[in-house]
Amino acid sequence: MCQLLGLNCATPTDASFSFTGFCQRGGNTGEHADGWGIAFFEGRGLRLFVDHQSAARSPMAEFLQKYPLKSKNIIAHVRKATIGEVALENAHPFTRELWGRHWVFAHNGDLKDYFPPLHSHFRPIGSTDSERAFCWLMQELSKSHASLPSTEELTLTLRELVPQVRHFGSFNFLLSNGEALWAHCSTKLHYLVRQHPFALATLMDHDWTVNFADLNHPGDRAAVIVTTPLTHNETWTAFEPDELKVFVDGLPVLEKTA
């Protein structure tokens, strides 16, 4: 299985601490060595980095750990290939345009015999079940809304769509349009909110402790969503099976079961 990492923040935040620990799972402390990627929203722009090399060995991943980029919405992924060969086009996150916005998607799980009907605007480039699911979600969202709806409306539509994909297998995913971050758990996903008063955090997969009180202001806040907790001295909350959460400005603002 792959692993997911997402950050949704009240103010632009760098992910270097979480990303450094997360990368170790891409071939060092974990077996997810079949590619990686990370996407940073900057306003309506997007910076996307993907690689078919393991995150623990990739020079690009090492560069990003040392040259942090700040964003309010970040999605990262380390891959253990199950469906689709190890190739650059199969590295998550995937991106598409809808309603004049970038959308970013990363998936952890296996969807068996999943080949949904897709029209010409949303078609996969690679050979993963994950990209097919993303294309189908984008296609169905575009059918359901003529223009960009509110976050609440999008969440309600996703609640109707997600079970149709979930029927084919495990479907843990992160999805963002730069304004909100949706997280769905079918098997395993955790989150925490870092906010004032900030405290120490120590990575599980790397020898690094940070005092977030030294790095943040009282108005800063970040929700961190990950497959398996990244730190051993913070309180992580497990998602319920088939739970969909949406995060805005560093908080879970709407919680529904899909």
In tens, the pLDDT along 62-115 reads 899 888 899 999 999 997 666 657 778 899 899 999 999 999 999 999 999 999
Q: How confident is the model at residue 55 (pLDDT cuts 50, 70, 90)?
A: confident
Beta strands 181-185 and 172-176: pairing type? antiparallel
pTM score, whole prediction: 0.94
Q: Is pLDDT of 116 > 90?
A: yes
So what's the pLDDT on residue 228? 95
What is the mean pLDDT of the segment spanning 149-162?
96
Q: 3-257, which class in CATH?
A: alpha beta
Q: Is 116 exposed, middle or buried (0-12, 13-18, 19+ CB in 10 A)?
A: middle
Span 8-42, pLDDT tens digits = 999 999 999 999 999 888 776 777 667 899 999 99
Span 178-223, pLDDT tens digits = 999 999 999 999 999 999 999 899 999 888 899 999 988 899 999 9
**Mean pLDDT, all residues of the chain:** 91
Domain residue ranges in the chain: 3-257
Q: Is pLDDT of 49 > 90?
A: yes
The residues annotated as belonging to the active site are 2
